[in-house]
Amino acid sequence: MGGYKFRKQHPILKYVLDFYCHKVKLGVELDGEIHNSKGQKFYDQDRTENLNIYNIEILRFKNEEIINDLSKVKKRILNKLKERDE
């Protein structure tokens, strides 16, 4: 993705990120239906806040976004990679 390397299912602290780019400390999470539940939303928010303490930013995408508009998802990821690399 634009020359940036991602690790799949990468462990950080007590979490496992779907995709992680170490160079710019960017995690990408793909969220299915389970992430709509109240308990999971709380867990996801807490997890994101804990990772932010270490300057790790998380981008979240619903599965529907991936299926329906992958090019838009890729563009958002690439823009964030460039922004964090400045």
Determine the structural domain holding residue 70 and report its residue range.
Answer: 7-84
What pLDDT was estimated at residue 83?
93
pLDDT of residue 58: 96
Cβ partners under 8 Å of residue 26, min gap 6? 20, 56, 57, 58, 59, 77, 80, 81, 84
Residue predicted with more confidence, 44 or 81: 81
Q: What is the pLDDT of residue 40?
A: 73
Contact 81, 26 (CB under 8 A): yes
User: 24-38, pLDDT tens digit by residue?
Assistant: 999 999 987 665 667
Q: Which CATH number covers residue 49? A: 3.40.960.10
Tens digit of pLDDT for each residue in 38-74? 777 788 889 999 999 999 999 999 999 999 999 999 9
For the chain, how many structural domains are there in total? 1
